[in-house]
Amino acid sequence: MPHENKVVVTAALSGVLANRNQCPHIPYTPVEIAEEAKRAYDAGASVVHIHARTDDGAPTFEPDTFARIKEEIRKRCPVILNWSTGTIEDDTSKQEAYITREDCRPDIAALNMGTMNYSKYSPKRKDFVFDMVFPNTYSKIIRLLRAMVAAGVKPELECFDSGHTNGIGPLMDMGLLRPPLQFSFIVNVLGGIPPTVEAVQFQRSLVPPGSQWEVIGISHCQWQMEAASLILGGNVRVGLEDHFYLPDGTMAKSNGELVAKVVELCRLVGREPATVEEARKILALDEHARSRTAVGAAS
């Protein structure tokens, strides 16, 4: 099958904002996360995106927790590991540790590419139900990128707005970003770009030639935006972090159910989910790891 027809399917297993009062199937513990990773892999995902949590569901950035998650997943499947580095704190020492430490080092680390208002508004209440500033300064981004370069971990550039996508120039000039780049366009977060085909097309127009990109549709826009990404040639991400519901409105009982539906959607538009081996080539993961010494010297 032509290379361009292959789709890298990512499953975002839990996030940190949603809880079991909203969806009882969200995994918390390392074993639960690993079981969800296996379900997603079996359904056709080649990458899992993971936020670590404590056993009661609170977010944690402890490297030991990421090490346990990695160990449990590796007992079950060879899926590509993508760790979140997102935090409202400026101190990135724990993120740097779980990116670089051998026992918890991922293949990919998600990197938020700019500061923004991150909010949720309720039309029924006429009020904000969630409202914060999500700080991601260049100094913070550079610290995390240096850790990724040192470890041979590929950055996934999470762009909530066009300024985030357009702001990669200095990082490329410094040698901290090396093509081919990998982007995620997050849509439908209040404070970021809207969930429209035009917005995705504009984001796509800003990335360097040869880049890989995916669309992350937050909440009820998810299925329409995944379809748009597939038609426009992008990759896809689904999962309980982003949206709880299947296309018919039924709450998913696992990340595997969500992955199975997006795989079905891939095939309906004439594309095929990439295997783990194919995804590693598409995302140039092995090439990135081999070149870390040269990139580190350039930086």
pLDDT band with cut points at 50, 70 and 90 for residue 297:
very low
CATH number at residue 31: 3.20.20.70
Domain extent, residue 216, equals 3-298
235-238 and 212-217 as β-strands: parallel, antiparallel, unpaired?
Answer: parallel
Instruction: Round the average pLDDT of the chain to a whole number and report it.
Output: 94
240 phi and psi, to 5 degrees? -70, -15
Q: Is the pLDDT of residue 294 over 60?
A: no
Specify the number of domains making up the chain. Answer: 1
Mean pLDDT of 115-128: 91
Q: Find the Cα–Cα–Cα–Cα dihedral 182, 188, 191, 192, rounded to 10°.
A: 30
pLDDT of residue 291: 61
Dist. CA 290–CA 299, nearest whole Å: 16
* Residue 131: both structure tokens together: 């409202």
Mean pLDDT of 47-53: 98
